[in-house]
C-alpha cells in the first residue's frame, strides 16, 4: 500500500510539472523575448527541504526533481507511456528481461556552466542509478527496484533489466527512476545523506541555485534538452519562478491587480474563493 501511495504521488507531481511546462507541438519559432512563468504559492506552502532524489517527499521537491532529472520513459497528457531518455524498449517472451535503448544526444546540465556538454547521458548513468537505488537502504525508490535482480549495460547506450519473476512493474520503475550522473554520484559514499544542493540532471529545466531563496524557487530552461529535437517537445518559458506568499489574501490581491505579474496561483485559502 505504501508503494502504491508513493507511485501515485510521483505520478501526480510529474503530471503537474509536464502540464505546466512541456507541450507536444511542431517546432516553435525563435523566441525574441525572455519568457518567465511566474507562479504564486500561498500559505507558505513553497517548502523544499531536500533535493536528494533518494529521500524527497514534498510537492515542490517533486517539481524540482522531475524537471531537473530525466527518466527512461514518461507519460503524455493522456497518461500513456511515451519515450524520455529511452526512445525504444523491448520485452522478451519470458516477461523478465527488458531492454532500453537511450538517445545519444542527452547531456547532464550543470547550473554553474549550463552550456557545457562534456557529460553525455549513457548506459553507465542508468546502471549507476540502479545500483545506488538497489543498494542504499531506506531510499525512496527501494521498493521500486526490489524485484529487479540486475541491470547491466549491453553497450554504451543500451541497458537490460532482469526481473526476479514476471511482474508488471517495469514501466513504473522506468517512469519514476530519475537518472543520476555517474560522474558525480559514483563517488558518494553515503548517497542517501548527500545534500545535492545544486542538482545536476538531464531534464528540461535546471535548478537556478543563485536566484533561489527561502521565498523564491527558480528553474531555467536547459539549453541541452534532447527532447526538443527527438520528440518535438518545447519548453516554452525561459524560466519558471515560484514565489512564496505568507498570506493567501495578499497573493490573490496581487494576482488580480497584476502587481507581481503572476501567471498562476496555487495553494489558495478557502476564504479567498468567491461565490
Instruction: Please identify which residue in the block is written with the cell numbers 530525466.
Output: 70
Write the pLDDT tens digit of every residue in 97-133. Answer: 999 999 999 999 999 999 999 999 999 999 999 999 9
Report the alpha-carbon angle 270-272-273, nearest 5. Answer: 75
Determine the Cα–Cα distance for residues 185 and 240; give it in Å rounded to an integer.
27
Query: What nine digits make up the cell of 218?
Result: 527558480
Write the pLDDT tens digit of every residue in 150-177. Answer: 999 999 999 999 999 998 889 999 999 9
Read out DSSP for the chain? -HHHHHHHHHHHHHHHHHHHHEEE-SPPPPP-S--EEEEEE-TT--------TTS--SHHHHHHHHHHS--SEEE-TTS-EEESSEEEEEE-TTSSEEEEEE-SS-B-B-TTSTT----B--HHHHHHHHHHHHHSTT-TTTTTSTTEEE--EEETTEEEEEESS--TTHHHHHHH-PPPPHHHHTT-SSGGG---SS--B-SSEEE-TTT--SSEEEEEE-TT-THHHHS-EEE--SEEEEEE-S-HHHHHHHHHHTTT--SEEES--GGG---
Q: What is the mean pLDDT of the chain?
A: 88
- pLDDT above 80: residue 195: yes
- pLDDT, position 232: 66
Q: How confident is the model at residue 30 (pLDDT cuts 50, 70, 90)?
A: low
- pLDDT above 50: residue 14: no
Report the candidate in 123, 112, 265, 262 with the shortest Cα–Cα distance to residue 198. 112
Q: How confident is the model at residue 228 (pLDDT cuts 50, 70, 90)?
A: confident
The mean pLDDT value for 1-18 works out to: 41
Amino acid at each position: 500500500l505504501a508503494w502504491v501511495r508513493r507511485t501515485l504521488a510521483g505520478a501526480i507531481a510529474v503530471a503537474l510539472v509536464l502540464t505546466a511546462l512541456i507541450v507536444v507541438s511542431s517546432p516553435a519559432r525563435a523566441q525574441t523575448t525572455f519568457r518567465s512563468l511566474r507562479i504564486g504559492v500561498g500559505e507558505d506552502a513553497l517548502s523544499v527541504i531536500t533535493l536528494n532524489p533518494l529521500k524527497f517527499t514534498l510537492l515542490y521537491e517533486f517539481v524540482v526533481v522531475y524537471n531537473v532529472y530525466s527518466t527512461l520513459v514518461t507519460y503524455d497528457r493522456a497518461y500513456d507511456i511515451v519515450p524520455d531518455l529511452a526512445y525504444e524498449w523491448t520485452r522478451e517472451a519470458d516477461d523478465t528481461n527488458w531492454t532500453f535503448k537511450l538517445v545519444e544526444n542527452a547531456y547532464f546540465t550543470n547550473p554553474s556552466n549550463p552550456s557545457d556538454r562534456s557529460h553525455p547521458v549513457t548506459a553507465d548513468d542508468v546502471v549507476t542509478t540502479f545500483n545506488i537505488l538497489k543498494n542504499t537502504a531506506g531510499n525512496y525508490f527501494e521498493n521500486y527496484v526490489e524485484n529487479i535482480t540486475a541491470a547491466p549495460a549491453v553497450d554504451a547506450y543500451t541497458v537490460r533489466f532482469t526481473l526476479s519473476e514476471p511482474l508488471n512493474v517495469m514501466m513504473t520503475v522506468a517512469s519514476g527512476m530519475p537518472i543520476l550522473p555517474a560522474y558525480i554520484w559514483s563517488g558518494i559514499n553515503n548517497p542517501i545523506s548527500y545534500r545535492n544542493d545544486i542538482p545536476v540532471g538531464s531534464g528540461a529545466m535546471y535548478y537556478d541555485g543563485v536566484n533561489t531563496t527561502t521565498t523564491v524557487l527558480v528553474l531555467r530552461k536547459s539549453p541541452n534538452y534532447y527532447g526538443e529535437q527527438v520528440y518535438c517537445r518545447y519548453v516554452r518559458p525561459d524560466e519558471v519562478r515560484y514565489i512564496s506568499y505568507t498570506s493567501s489574501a495578499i497573493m490573490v490581491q496581487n494576482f488580480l491587480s497584476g502587481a507581481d505579474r503572476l501567471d498562476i496561483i496555487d495553494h489558495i485559502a478557502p476564504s479567498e474563493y468567491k461565490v
